[in-house]
Structures are given as C-alpha cells and as structure tokens.
Structure 1
C-alpha cells in the first residue's frame, strides 16, 4: 500500500508531465477544475484543483471527499501510483472497476488525452 506522501509525489510527477504536454494532452492539461481523489485503501481524500497544467493538492482529509469536486476519482493508493508511473493503463483499470471517475462528459473526453 502506497503512503499518502507517495500519492502526493505521484501527483507532482503527473503535474511535471502535464506541464510538458503537447497536442490533445496539452489541451486537457489546460483545464481549470476542482479535483478530488479518494484513496479507498487509505480512506483518505486529496482535494485540490487541476489548473495551469498542474494538479495542486490543497488539502488531505480523512474519509471520502466532504464536497463534490468537478472531477472525482476513486482508486487505491497503489493503483494511483501505478497509473501515474505508467505501470497500469487507465482504460484497463477503469474497465475492471479499479478506478472510478466522475466528471462532465466533455471533461472526460478531454482528459482521456492525459491518460
């Protein structure tokens, strides 16, 4: 099981990748949306924003997110790190139920360029 610090570090690596993204990935990274990531195995949530080609985590709270973000992700800590590190393909994880994503359809279509 990955720690909350390892999950935050993985999101930093994702931010670094988004900053350098071009094409569809670059357009997806340019979204400005509230974001929550519930780490089901840790029962912790990371809350923040996707903006300016970065994932800015503002707070970590116990349990599920206390408020509804525009983009909501739920997965295990290990799966989050594996997806960001390229060891687990997002589509495969989503199809098997290992990751759940809730967002407006238009955002989902744009975000697939990041994944």
Structure 2
C-alpha cells in the first residue's frame, strides 16, 4: 500500500504532465471541480480541472466535486505511472469515476 505522500507526489506529477500538454488540453472545454478519493487510505485530494490543467490540488475531499475518482493508493500510482490502463481499470472496477456522460467524453480526450 502506498502512502498519502506518495499519492500526493503522483498527483503532482499528473498536474505537471497536464501542464506540459496544456495546449492540447486547451482544446477540451472542461472546467470542473475534481475529487480523488483514495479508498484504502481513507483520504482524498481535490482541485480543479480547467483547460486541460489540474489546478489548486489540496488535501481533503470535496463532496460537491463534479468529477470524482475513487481508487486504491497502489492503483492510483500505477495509473499515473502508466502501468495500469484506465479503460481496463474501469472495466475491472479497480477505478470508478463519477461524472456526467459529457464530462466523461471530455476526460477521455485529456487522458
């Protein structure tokens, strides 16, 4: 099981990668609050997806987040490191994403 700090570092890495691809992400008109819930650690992070960027990443949950991702700490790290395929993880219920159908389509373009 990964630690809270390792999960935070992985999400920071994701934010850096999205920032590096911000030009491509700007084509995706998505401005939504995001919560990432780590089920095995009982913790969460929240921020905002805006124009292909992950902004204002902070500790704690946002129960009103428009997009919520739930997974274990190890699966979160594997996803961000590219060792776990998101569609396969969703199909195997290792990851769940709660969002509107339109937001899911836009997210797919970002990832």
TM over 0.5: yes
Question: Where does residue 44 of structure 2 map in the other structure?
Answer: 45
Structure-2 residue corresponding to 1:36: 35
Following superposition, the deviation at residue 54 of structure 1 comes to: 2.1
List, as ranges, runs of 4+ consecutive aligned residues in structure 1 with deviation greater than 4 Å.
none
Q: Counterpart of 1:81?
A: 77
Q: Secondary structure at the match of 2:27?
A: helix
CA RMSD of aligned residues (A): 1.8
Q: Secondary structure in 2 aligned to 1:113? A: helix
**Structure 1: gaps (5+ residues):** none
**Structure 2: 5+ residue runs without aligned partners?**
none
Q: How many residues of Structure 1 are paired with residues of Structure 2 in the alignment?
A: 109
TM-superposed CA distance for 1:15, in Å, is 1.0
TM-score w.r.t. length of structure 1? 0.83
**1:4-23 → structure 2 map (5 Å cutoff):** 4-21=4-21, 22-23=23-24
Q: Do 2:32 and 2:50's aligned partners in 1 also have CA atoms closer than 8 Å?
A: yes
- With over 3 angstroms needed to count, the CA separation of the structure-2 counterparts of 1:14 and 1:27, relative to structure 1, is farther
With normalisation by structure 2, the TM-score equals 0.86
Are the equivalent residues in 2 in contact too, given 1:11–1:55 (CA < 8 A)? no
